[in-house]
Structure 1
């Protein structure tokens, strides 16, 4: 006597798939909860009253700041849309990815984005390897832009010998070049994406880096127009160079020295830069609260 053949209805298959992804949903929910707790802690520790008092009244300042803030998730979306055809709705988890990386720790945002993709089978092909490639390309583009700006700003940086030994600049640049060269040398073993996809993604990362830097300089200019836009662009370039060079100590003091060298309004420039740094934190807190709140509500409805 032959045993009957067991068949599964589509509803049964959907239920099995849902159970198989249950742990990923709970992990994504736990990630959102941790992110929300970190945001609330930062909000408790922050000095929002002082920040609000320092904010300028110029509307163009907020427009330029928004472009600088959203450049990273927007260009990430362009990259992943080219690779996977992601819809515009995927911009939301990419913004949350930026918040997580800024508020929690490096690449925590990539972990969240991977969990978000895993909950949506069929949306992305080889998500872990692709996210890894895009993240490496982002670092390479940042290194390349840093080296270009380092060459452009070298005369200004060598004037800052009172607070920094110029040999540290050379050493830091050598470290950046060595890391980038090592990645390129073993590229065939590291990268999953095809060469056309790698080139396109790298190019978009370079444009993103330039866009974010330029519009941050524009925001500073609108906050303090007495300082020429050329000075602000140079200062934004110096900020990126100093932030990414690994061997530079006392980076805040170096920013202050750069402001004093650039213009006689060094203290005012320092205040604007400090205010914009606080605004980046405030934007992360506000956006993080909104996105995690909607995430909790959406999961509860499901």
Structure 2
């Protein structure tokens, strides 16, 4: 109960701050700056589908379940994580997989855990790499906060980071159960998804404000990644909208255009999640096939057990243990 109240207070505070910022900019000016280019909306749906599409290939590495079923489960997982609570989507995925797999609960839980670990490692690597590049190329000036950054500190940091990676690889079996080759493949899929997702974000923003430099959009991407890595944060898109408006002011951008762009993006995401939630509630098992005409007997599948039905076809390639 206390957690729900806290989440609602956080969301209410963020909405209040955003509302005040929009009022300061000018409601009419923000409404007049809403994206009108259809390409903005087309790119939104491409962005929305990047994660569930990637998770088809990711979870097919560990679960012999049909792609369309994984896609539906990945969409539901996304809705739960974004609209209910962080990691509630992983709990849903665990309970869903129990119904579709003839495996021990601990094995299913390890699969979900391992993929979360690899996702976190990959996203943090992308975030630190991006922020480091922006800092050391002078796009982000932190000299006022840190002073002159000596090359010795930089080399020391790289060595420590490499040592941590080496230790993680050496003792990986204590952290997760996936074989190294399969873990590397899943990490590559996550990395590719991050690149595609964030490139589409930049393309979408550039459609609205084309005169903005790429380096500025990279700063926005760094903020997006940072916000998304905060655990149990409710309504991350609203938090990023608030941060984006403040960032636009600091960078002397067209604040009304940025506010309108992020407002529409947030509304589209909320609306799409709501529609998916209603759809999945109404059709919990998907749209069923039409009933057979009278007198026609349906064919009986060779395996009647639903735990085995998903593994009859479309089985992923086996990897070396």
- TM above 0.5: yes
Aligned to 2:189: 204
Name stretches of at least 5 consecutive residues in structure 1 with no aligned partner.
Answer: 1-37
Alignment of 1:131-210 (within 5 A): 131-154=112-135, 155-158=138-141, 186-210=171-195
1:294 Cα deviation from its structure 2 partner: 1.1
Residue 287 of structure 1, aligned match among 253, 264, 276 = 276
Aligned to 1:59: 38
Q: 1:121 to 1:82 in 2, by over 3 A?
A: closer
Give the Cα–Cα distance (whole angstroms) in 1 for the partners of residues 214 and 280 of structure 2: 34
The 8 Å contact of residues 241 and 259 in structure 2, kept in 1 or not, is answered as: no
1:80 Cα deviation from its structure 2 partner: 1.2
Aligned to 1:111: 91
Aligned to 1:227: 212
Q: 1:67 to 1:297 in 2, by over 3 A?
A: closer
Q: Give the aligned CA root-mean-square deviation in angstroms.
A: 4.1
Residue 205 of structure 1: SS of its match in structure 2? helix
Aligned to 2:82: 102
The 8 Å contact of residues 58 and 189 in structure 2, kept in 1 or not, is answered as: yes
1:82 Cα deviation from its structure 2 partner: 2.8
Q: 1:166 to 1:266 in 2, by over 3 A?
A: farther
Residues 143-200 of structure 1, C-alpha deviations (whole Å, 9 max, x = no match): 1111111112223443697xxx569xx9xx99xx79x868667522121110001101
Q: 1:297 to 1:137 in 2, by over 3 A?
A: closer
1:109 Cα deviation from its structure 2 partner: 1.0
Q: 1:251 to 1:297 in 2, by over 3 A?
A: closer
1:240 and 2:225 correspond = yes
Name stretches of at least 5 consecutive residues in structure 2 with no aligned partner.
Answer: 1-7, 16-26, 148-152, 232-238, 292-305, 307-321
Residue 128 of structure 1, aligned match among 93, 104, 109 = 109
Q: 1:251 to 1:270 in 2, by over 3 A?
A: same
Residue 177 of structure 2: SS of its match in structure 1? coil
Give the Cα–Cα distance (whole angstroms) in 1 for the partners of residues 246 and 67 of structure 2: 43
Identify the range of structure 1 (69-78 vs 257-266) with the bigger mean alpha-carbon deviation: 257-266
1:202 Cα deviation from its structure 2 partner: 0.9
Give the Cα–Cα distance (whole angstroms) in 1 for the partners of residues 130 and 182 of structure 2: 25
More contact order relative to length (CA 8 Å, sep ≥ 6): 2
| Structure with greater proportional helix content | 1
Residue 274 of structure 1, aligned match among 263, 267, 278 = 263
1:76 and 2:61 correspond = no
Q: 1:149 to 1:262 in 2, by over 3 A?
A: same
Give the Cα–Cα distance (whole angstroms) in 1 for the partners of residues 240 and 189 of structure 2: 28
